[in-house]
Amino acid sequence: MSQETSSIVLPPLPYADNALDPVISANTIGFHYGKHHKAYVDNLNKLIAGTEYAGLSLEKIITAVAGKPDKAGIFNNAAQIWNHTFYWNSLKPGGGGEPPAALKEKMEAAFGSVEACKKALSDAALTQFGSGWAWLVMDGGVLKVVKTANAEVPFTSGMKPLVTLDVWEHAYYLDYQNRRADYVQAVLDRLINWSFALENAS
């Protein structure tokens, strides 16, 4: 039983908590990963203990409860664990810059240029009202940019996420206060992990 109740674990960060300085501070990572992300894991394990969802993967839990109002608590916590893990991998120290050739080709085919793709991501991040996420996704073999509110995830709509930007206020408020645009620009220019996007596209 104890094994079931601890089936979901907080994945380790793919880098040190100060590795994204100065774009995202160790202070922000401490709260965002160490408190928010961990709380979703703790909450989900409590919610699924002794249920049919205990022992399932996050993806299976999310898919099973998506769109079911009576399972909103399970969905929100499971999806936020998934989203945050994906977000940490969407960033890397010394990121940004020129995407790998194969990804660049897909960006140019879908958006006309890498800059236009980045602008679409930035626009999605800046126009997401309230809490949510901006995503570069693969939809039927074509790159698209979409945004989701709160804990929503693109894969429940059949889209394949490639990278994401977290625009919940706790992602940037300690470093940027209300300057979401500065945070988004800095992440796209200096942290976004295009190699991770290409891995997910293939």
Q: Is the pLDDT of residue 48 over 50?
A: yes
- Alpha-carbon distance 51 to 167, whole Å? 32
Per DSSP, the three-state class of 115 is helix
In a domain, 155, yes or no: yes
Q: What is the pLDDT of residue 202?
A: 82
> Using 50, 70 and 90 to split pLDDT, how confident is the model at 178?
very high
Number of structural domains the chain divides into? 2
**Claim to verify: residue 64 and residue 120 sit in the same structural domain:** no
* Residue 5 reports pLDDT greater than 90: no
Of 89, 111, 133, the residue that ends a domain is 89
Whether 65 maps to a domain, the answer reads: yes
Handedness of CA 101, 106, 112, 117 (dihedral sign): negative
C-alpha span between 146 and 94 (Å, rounded): 25
Range of the domain at 32: 25-89
- The residue out of 69, 89, 109 marking a domain boundary is 89
Q: What's the chain's average pLDDT?
A: 94
b/e sequence 53-74, b meaning 16+ C-beta within 10 Å: bbebebeebbbebbeeeebeeb
81 and 105 inside one domain: no
Residues 82 and 155 in one domain: no
Q: Is 107 in the same domain as 191?
A: yes
- Phi, psi torsion values for 148, nearest 5 degrees: -130, 150
Both tokens of 137, joined, read 């996704």
Residues 135 and 181 in one domain: yes
* Residue 7: per-residue pLDDT: 78
pLDDT, position 46: 95
pTM of the predicted protein model: 0.94
Give the pair of three-digit tokens for residue 11.
């994945």
- Among 1-5, 32-36, 80-84, 156-160, whose mean pLDDT is lowest? 1-5
Domain identity same for 151 and 61: no
Q: What percent of the chain has pLDDT above 90?
A: 93
Give the end of a domain, one of 65, 89, 113. Answer: 89
pLDDT at 6 over 60: no
One domain for residues 171 and 105? yes
